[in-house]
Amino acid sequence: MDLVQQVAANLEIDQGKAEKGIGAVLMALRMSLDPAGFAQVRLALPNCESLMGRALMSGARTGEMAALIGPTGLMAALAAAGYQKDDIPQLGRLVLEHLRPTIGTAQVEKFLQGAPALRG
C-alpha cells in the first residue's frame, strides 16, 4: 500500500484529499530540510512534486501564498485542503513515519518542533 492509500484508508478520506494533505506536509518539510535532505524525500516518494502540486491547487483563489508554506503555514494549508484539526496529528504521523527511515529521526523531530500540530 502506498502512502496515499495508507492515509486515505486510515483517515477514511478519498485519495484526492489524502494527496492534498500529504502534499501540504511535504511542502512544509521542504522548507525545513536542506536541499540534500529533501532530495532523499524525492527518492522515497517519487511522486512528491505531484503531491505538492495537489496541495497548491487546494489553496485559496490563487496558489501564490501556498508556495511559501513552511511549518507555520501548514495548518492553513491543511484547513484549505479540508482537514479537521483532529485528523492532523494522524496525518502527520503517517507521513513522517513513512519518511523517518529516509530522512532520519533527528530531521523528523526538528521538523515537528516547528509544526507541533502534527505531533498532536
Cβ-Cβ contacts under 8 Å for 2 (sequence gap 6 or more) = none
- CATH code 3.40.50 for 3-118: no
The tens digit of pLDDT for each residue in 10-54 reads 999 999 999 999 999 999 999 889 999 999 999 999 999 999 988
* Residue 89, C-alpha cell as written in the block: 496529528
Q: 70-102 pLDDT, tens per residue?
A: 666 788 889 888 999 999 999 999 999 999 999
Instruction: Report pTM.
Output: 0.88
